[in-house]
Chain A
Amino acid sequence: MAKTMAAVQAAETREEMGIVIDAQGMHYRDLNRRLREAATEGEARFRLVNVNGQRYIGTGLKGDLHLEICGVPGNDLGAFLSGPTILVRNNAQDAIGNTMDSGSIIVKGDAGDVIGYGMRGGTIFINGNVGYRVGIHMKAYRQKSPVIVIGGAAGDFLGEYMAGGVIILLGLSERNGDPLVGNYCASGMHGGEIYLRGKVDPRHISPHAKIAQTKPTQIEHIRPHIAEFCTHFGYDADKVMGEPFFRLTPVSHRPYGAKYAT
């Protein structure tokens, strides 16, 4: 199964921007080992082509690295990520940015379930739609405040257990009449903010969250994130910001405060 490093390196070419690795038929262990080794040797820019479901790309990578991925990367892309920027030119799968600490992940297409689980910092931009359980238990710490911006719609349990950070759901692409967000959005939320652009059915929002129209100062607060999203994917930021946003914040920061007999 495991290829020798020489065989892995044979699939490499060098461009001005950095190393190009042809991932065709390559096992994720070989691919990721090569990425770690090259990063240790001081390589900072990578382009992976013919990626086809390889898991854990960029997982645990540290520092100012840039990965461009052509093809569809597998689950746990950029798990425990600490610094690098990952650009995916196609769709991506589940568990992107799992327990991510810092860095940025940009996905031009759709993404799957459990994006940004337990994320503590960094940014994730998804141009298309996302699946279930996105942004669960995101949390902020000191200067770190994670941000997820989603261009399309989201499935159930968006921002469940949310403890910090920001989720912005733009609903730019209509998904066969599906709602902007699925059921149980913000259930167990006890920190952070969720911004929803356009139509929202309150039945989809957990009673653990308060719903309010966004005030101008709050809009300014999220403008840089939306501007960056629009830069990545070629939208007009003013047009995107032109629609009203609803803001979800936790009803209580201590959801279990009154639960126990003392």
Chain B
Amino acid sequence: MMMKERDLLLEEPQTEEAEEPLHEVRVATTPVYYPPEFRWTNDQERCARCKRCIHQCGWKALRWEGRVVADDSKCVGCHRCEAFCPERCITILPNPQAFKEHGLWSVGHRRNLWKQAETGGVLLAGMGNDLPYQVLWDHLVLDACQVTNPSIDPAREPMELRTHLGRKPEAVEVRQNGDGFELVTALEPGIELSTPIVFAAMSYGSISLPAQKSIAMAACELGTLWNTGEGGLHDEVRPFANRAIVQCASGRFGVDVDYLNSGAGVEIKIGQGAKPGIGGHLPGEKVSQDVSETRMIPVGSDALSPAPQHDIYSIEDLRQLIFAIKEATNYEKPVSVKIAAVHNVAAIASGMVRAGADILYLDGFRGGTGAAPTTIRDHFGIPIEIAIAVVDQRLRDEGIRNQASIIAAGGIRSSADVAKAITLGADAVAIGTAALMALGCTLCQKCYTGRCSWGITTQDPQLTRRLDPNVGAQRLVNLVKAWSEELEEMLGALGVNSIESLRGSRERLRGIQLDRTTLEVLGVKPAGVGA
């Protein structure tokens, strides 16, 4: 049919007969059995036969046959059933089924290979890189005051966590005005944070509306920021937009002039730590009526975010889009540019600042995602610890560090990681995975299936209604408040009373079990070496 239509053309096609595309012959003739990852068990004596576990399982792994029966092949180990079992009689174990051990071929490698031999498809993964790479946070330790310099008790003395994001002037000029002073220098637009912790970009579509609303409400209550991701702004979260960074990415979903002006700032998303260099595909199944309205695309259509932004092929092009956004927002909003941390991150960051970015958002290779090809998630990019250090140093060396703030993300697990990130040179950190864990996530990494039993990474109304935004927001507020209090404790131990005094103060860090080159790249001395 195709050829016939093409024959109508005035010039004959010169191409040879097209071969059948490979994906149309994906039928395995010899199905290979591969064992499930988990073994679901329940204690029959304690089981109350309440069937709650069956209802709670979003994966349909459990069924009733006079007792609860599990299909282990469907269990993802998310522990939703266990959390709701009144008798605490459920135990989920790693499948003890033993394979002949092999130092090269892990069971994970074997499982993936079998799956691909059967389907011929690209492997997908959710959340962040789960391979056991060295975690540099765990090889950095902070200094504390002893004898020669006094520490500060944060319970008695004020501690300042306030952080300002945006372009700062080289110097400020003030003049006396009566009894007071007034600022003569005109400041660029900035954003004040009550604490140097913001929420990472997660779109409505990748996460559910209750999940996004929880984060948005928490950001407003905390006086920090949330980020729309590339999913537009749903009416339900619009009231919280004054604390939102609105994202403009390659698909331009939901982006119009009102959207750009509705947030505290605008972010151009170039890349993401979990999938450097590639775009995103929100499958048509997830483009419900509501998702369609916020993304401004028809219901059921694939939402494809191309790998690059096709109006940005260079630093000069990036500058063009930054200033298009500044023009469209009357120079009233700071513009952030988000990139994945990659090998040449320092030079790229320098270019971004020179292109006019007010905020650099660096996403390390452990950053999370709703869906990414497993190979990209696990093998691309560099650790955020390295990226912060080299970018901060490069911008200082070039005398342009004041021109942009650095937000660091991708694997922040605790307030200690926050403190170390800031000491390495970040202005603030963003938390994504940690925020979702506060909402119930147990890191089963199946976000890409859209079946999240915790109602976080799904659009199924049966599942999303499990998450109450008021409860979710409170848990997020609790988490960030607790971390902030711990930050104050750490500042006290370090003998400083402001997070500003710790920023980029790498002399207060020491490395343990790190090789000389890594220490040099981090700009950190080894433990045991004094000032």
Residues of A within 8 A of B281 (CB): 256, 259
**Interchain nearest-CB distance for B529 vs A (Å):** 49
**In the complex, which of the residues B23, B255, B257, B284 contacts A253, with contact meaning CB atoms closer than 8 Å?**
B284
Which A residues touch B468, using CB under 8 A?
none
B contact residues around A260 at 8 Å (CB): 121-124
| Across-interface contacts of A203 in B (CB, < 8 A) | 13-15
**Are B320 and A99 within 8 A (Cβ)?**
no
B35 at the interface (CB under 8 A from A): no
In the complex, B116 has a CB within 8 A of chain A: yes
Chain B 1-23 interface mask (CB, 8 Å, partner A; 1/0): 01001101111011100100001
Instruction: Judge whether B298 is part of the interface by a CB distance below 8 angstroms.
Output: yes
Q: Judge if A213 is at the interface, Cβ distance under 8 Å.
A: yes
Q: Chain A, 177-193, contact with B by CB distance < 8 Å: what is the 0/1 string?
A: 00000000000101100
**Residues of chain A in range 239-262 having any CB-CB distance to chain B below 8 Å:** 246, 253-262
Of all chain B residues, the one with the shortest Cβ separation from A101 is B256
Residues in B whose Cβ lies below 8 Å from that of A29: 327
Tell me whether B15 and A202 are in contact (CB under 8 A): yes
CB-nearest residue of chain A to B6: A202
CB pair B296 A210 closer than 8 Å: no
Known: A60-B327, A137-B306. A163 touches B297 (CB 8 A): yes
On whether the beta carbons of A139 and B296 are closer than 8 Å, the reply is yes
Contact with B along A138-152 (1 / 0, CB 8 A): 011100000000000
What A residues does B123 contact at CB under 8 A?
Answer: 260-261
Query: Whole-angstrom distance between the alpha carbons of A95 and B257 in the complex?
Result: 16
The stretch from A3-11, A114-122, A167-175, A224-232 touching chain B is A114-122
Least CB distance from A161 to B in Å reads 5
A59 to B324, CA, bound (A): 7
- Whether A133 lies near B310 (C-beta < 8 A) is yes
Q: Report if B220 contacts A (CB, 8 A).
A: no
Verify B257–A136 contact, CB threshold 8 A: no
Write the A51-94 contact mask toward B (1 if CB under 8 angstroms, else 0).
00001100110100000000000011001101000000000000
Bound CA span A137–B279, Å: 13
Let me know if A117 and B311 touch, CB within 8 A: yes
Provided the pairs A213-B8, A260-B124 are in contact, do residues A141 and B297 lie with their beta carbons within 8 angstroms? Answer: yes
In the complex, the answer to whether A261 meets B327 with C-beta atoms within 8 Å is no
B492 within 8 A of A: no
Determine how close the nearest CB of chain A comes to the CB of B451; give it in whole angstroms. 11
CB distance from A111 to the nearest CB of B (A): 14
Q: Which of B1-58 contact A (CB under 8 A)?
A: 2, 5-6, 8-11, 13-15, 18, 23, 26
Are A140 and B121 interface neighbours, CB within 8 A?
no
Q: Which residue on chain A has the smallest CB distance to residue B330?
A: A36
What per-residue 1/0 map shows which CB atoms of A25-39 lie under 8 Å from chain B? Answer: 000110011001000
Minimum Cβ distance to chain B for residue A246 (Å): 7
In the assembled complex, the CB of B380 is this many whole angstroms from the nearest CB of chain A, namely 18
Q: Which residues of A contact B354 (CB under 8 A)?
A: none
- In the bound complex, do residue B257 and residue A80 qualify as a contact, i.e. CB atoms below 8 Å apart? yes
- Please give, as numbers and ranges, the residues of chain A lying within 8 Å of B311 by CB-CB distance: 95, 98, 114, 117
Question: Contacts of B122 on A, CB cut-off 8 Å?
Answer: 259-261
- The interface bits of chain B over 260-300 (1 if a CB of A lies within 8 angstroms of the residue's CB, else 0) are 10000000000000000000010110000000100011100
Chain A residues contacting B124 (CB-CB under 8 Å) are 260-262
Tell me, rounded to whole Å, the shortest Cβ–Cβ distance linking B274 to chain A. 16
B302 & A254 in contact (Cβ 8 Å cutoff): yes
Choice from A56, A141, A163, A207 contacting B304 with Cβ under 8 Å: A163
Contact B257 A101 (CB under 8 A): yes
A131 within 8 A of B: no
Given contacts A79-B324, A262-B121, contact A190 B301 (CB under 8 A): yes
Main SS class of interface, A = loop
Closest B residue, CB atoms, query A140: B298
Across chains A and B, the number of contacting residue pairs, with CB separation under 8 Å, is 159
Chain B CB within 8 A of A164 CB: yes
- A60 touching B15, Cβ below 8 Å: no
A104 to B320, CA, bound (A): 22
Taking a contact as CB atoms under 8 Å apart, the answer to whether B329 and A95 are in contact is no
**A261 with B121: CB separation less than 8 A:** yes
B465 CB within 8 Å of chain A: no
* Residue in chain A with minimal CB distance to B292: A141
Q: Which of A118, A201, A246 contacts B251 (CB 8 A)?
A: A118
Closest Cβ of chain A to B313, distance in Å, is 9
A156 to chain B, nearest CB (A): 12
- Asked whether A213 lies within 8 Å of B13 as measured between CB atoms, the reply is no
B302 contacts A190, CB within 8 Å?
A: yes
Would you call A118 and B255 a contact (CB within 8 A)? Answer: yes
> In the bound complex, what is the Cα–Cα distance between A114 and B296 (angstroms)?
21
Tell me whether A137 and B251 are in contact in the complex, defined as CB-CB below 8 angstroms, given that A60-B260, A163-B304, A202-B15 are known contacts: yes
Complex interface residues of chain B between 92 and 149 (CB less than 8 A to chain A): 115-116, 118-124
Q: CA of A137 to CA of B248 in the docked complex: distance in angstroms?
A: 14
Is the CB–CB distance between B324 and A200 below 8 Å?
no
In the bound complex, what is the Cα–Cα distance between A73 and B15 (angstroms)? 41
- Interchain CB contact under 8 A, A199 and B284: no
Q: Is the CB of A32 within 8 A of B302?
A: no
Contact of A211 with B by CB under 8 A:
yes
A132 to chain B, nearest CB (A): 10
Contact of B9 among A55, A56, A118, A211 (CB under 8 A): A211
Which residue of the partner chain B has the closest CB to A247? B5
Does B252 sit at the interface, judged by CB under 8 A? Answer: yes
- Closest chain B residue to A251, Cβ basis: B2
Which A38-57 residues sit within 8 Å CB-CB of chain B?
55-56
* B252 x A190 contact (CB < 8 A): no
Q: Does chain A have a CB within 8 A of B519?
A: no
Evaluate whether A55 and B320 lie within 8 angstroms (CB atoms) in the complex, with A32-B327, A80-B255, A210-B5 already known.
yes
A201 CA to B11 CA, complexed, in Å: 6
Residues of chain A contacted by B15 (CB below 8 angstroms): 202-203
Q: Quick check: B284 and A141 within 8 Å, CB to CB?
A: no
CA distance A256 to B320 in the complex (A): 31
A82 and B257 CA atoms in complex are apart in Å by 7
- Contacting residues, chain B, for A98 (C-beta < 8 A): 311, 324
B314 to chain A, nearest CB (A): 12
Which of chain B's residues have a CB closer than 8 A to the CB of A259? 23, 121-122, 281
A–B pairs, 22, beta carbons within 8 Å: A29-B327, A55-B320, A56-B323, A75-B320, A80-B256, A80-B324, A82-B258, A99-B252, A114-B310, A137-B251, A137-B304, A163-B304, A190-B304, A199-B11, A200-B9, A200-B10, A202-B13, A203-B13, A210-B2, A211-B6, A254-B283, A261-B118
Chain B interface residues toward A at CB < 8 A: 2, 5-6, 8-11, 13-15, 18, 23, 26, 115-116, 118-124, 248, 250-252, 255-258, 260, 281, 283-284, 292, 296-298, 301-302, 304, 306, 310-311, 320-321, 323-324, 327-330, 449
Besides A137-B304, A258-B26, 10 more A-B contacts (Cβ < 8 Å) are A55-B323, A114-B310, A117-B311, A161-B310, A199-B9, A202-B11, A207-B18, A246-B9, A254-B284, A261-B118
Nearest 10 CB-CB pairings of A with B: A60-B328, A261-B121, A118-B252, A261-B119, A202-B13, A141-B296, A56-B327, A101-B256, A59-B327, A79-B324
